[in-house]
Each structure stands twice: as C-alpha cells, then as structure tokens.
Amino acid sequence: MGKIILVLGGTKSGKTSFAQNEASKLARLTGKNISYIATARALDQGMKDRIKRHKESRPNKWETWEEPLNVSEILTKAAMNKAAAILDCFTMLATNIIMELGENPERIAAMDAVSRETNAVISAAKGVNSTLFIISNHVEVGLIAPTALGGLFQDIAGINHQMLAREADEVYLLTAGIPQRLK
C-alpha cells in the first residue's frame, strides 16, 4: 500500500526542497528512482522561468511527467517501481481544474471537480507501493481573497487540504525552510 506525505507551506517556504530531499533519501535506501509530476502550465514568462528553475533543481535521472489536469490517471504509472513520486503542486492542479470551467466557474461545480480529482489521487496513491509527496501552497491562512474567484480558490484549497491531510500518513508545514510535522 502506498504512503502519502502532504507538504504544505507558503510561497518560497522550502516545500519543494524538503520533498526532493526526503524523496532522495528514499531513493538511496531503496535503490529506486523518483518520478516528478509537474502540474504547472507555462502561460507567461514568469511561469516559464519558475518551471525552468524547478527543472534545474532536480536530478536529470528523475523521470518527469507533465500533467496539468489528470494526475490521478498517470499516478499509478508514474509511481510504479519508484522510491517516490512528487506531485508539484496540488494548488496548481486545483487552479487548472477550476480554470477549465471558465472565467466565472459555478461554485459547486468547481468544488466537485477538484474534490473528484483529489479523491482519485488519494485512491491511486494508496494503490501503489511507493511514497507520494504532495506539495501544496497553504493559502487558507491570512487575508480573505478580494475577488470571488480568489475566495473560491481559497475555499477549495482549504477543503481539499483537509481531505488530503485526513488520508495522509504524514503532514508537514514549512515556514522559512523549517519543516514542522503536523501528523
């Protein structure tokens, strides 16, 4: 049965470095490789630069899967015979799913679409003999978003983080590069 590790934190909190380091430890212990599942879309120069930096931060031997919407469909294949898989990142996956519903997505439809994929990811992760690190931005703290779409995104992220945390074997919150184990 697969293991799920949820890694939460703010922007530039050290989430990706933490997950990569922990996955690398598992790879050294098992002699198996790592799969990296990237959900970002290169829609502007800023995102292109960010994706490039992320690619440069991981070893070339890691297998990279680029999937912005249907992570659950590739997860079993990506994680098969691997020490670990890293999903980077859940909030980008949620954003992509929401944006597929148009500029003004209906609240219930958006919540249902993301929750369906969350449940499918959890199910797929539990079905493989590998560890899945799910990286996600902790957006449900601080100020309430000033727009309806931003508020919907915060609500969806918070609700789905709760779902992921319930099913996760371990949950970490990173602040200033320091991991705090929550579960």
Concatenate the DSSP letters of all residues of 68-118 into one string. Answer: SS-HHHHHHHHHTTEEEEEEE-HHHHHHHHHHTT-SS--HHHHHHHHHHHH
Task: Answer positive or negative: Cα dihedral of 123, 34, 13, 101.
Answer: negative
Q: What is the pLDDT of residue 11?
A: 87
Q: What is the pLDDT of residue 144?
A: 83
Q: What is the pLDDT of residue 145?
A: 84
Instruction: Report domain extents, the chain.
Output: 3-181
Q: What are the phi and psi torsion angles at 38 (to 5°)? A: -100, 130
Give the closest residue to 113 by CA, choosing from 98, 125, 130.
98
Q: What is the pLDDT of residue 162?
A: 97
Q: What is the pLDDT of residue 47?
A: 67
Strands 170-175 and 3-9: parallel
Domain 3-181 - what CATH class?
alpha beta
Q: What is the pLDDT of residue 91?
A: 96
Residues in CB range of 29: below 8 A, 6 or more apart: 83
Q: What is the pLDDT of residue 59?
A: 79
Element (H, E) at 8: strand 3-9
- For the chain, 183 residues long, give each residue's pLDDT as a single digit of tens: 789 999 999 988 999 999 999 999 999 999 999 999 999 876 777 766 776 777 777 778 899 998 889 999 999 999 999 999 999 999 999 999 999 999 899 999 999 999 999 999 999 999 999 999 999 999 988 778 888 999 999 999 999 999 999 999 999 999 999 999 999
Give CA–CA dist 2/84, Å, rounded.
9
Residues in CB range of 9: below 8 A, 6 or more apart: 15, 137, 138, 172, 173, 174, 175
Q: State both tokens at 71.
A: 């992570």
Query: Half-sphere exposure of 3 toward its Cβ, with a 13 Å CA cutoff?
Result: 11
Crossing angle of helices 90-99/148-167, nearest 10°? 130
Q: State both tokens at 40.
A: 């970002």
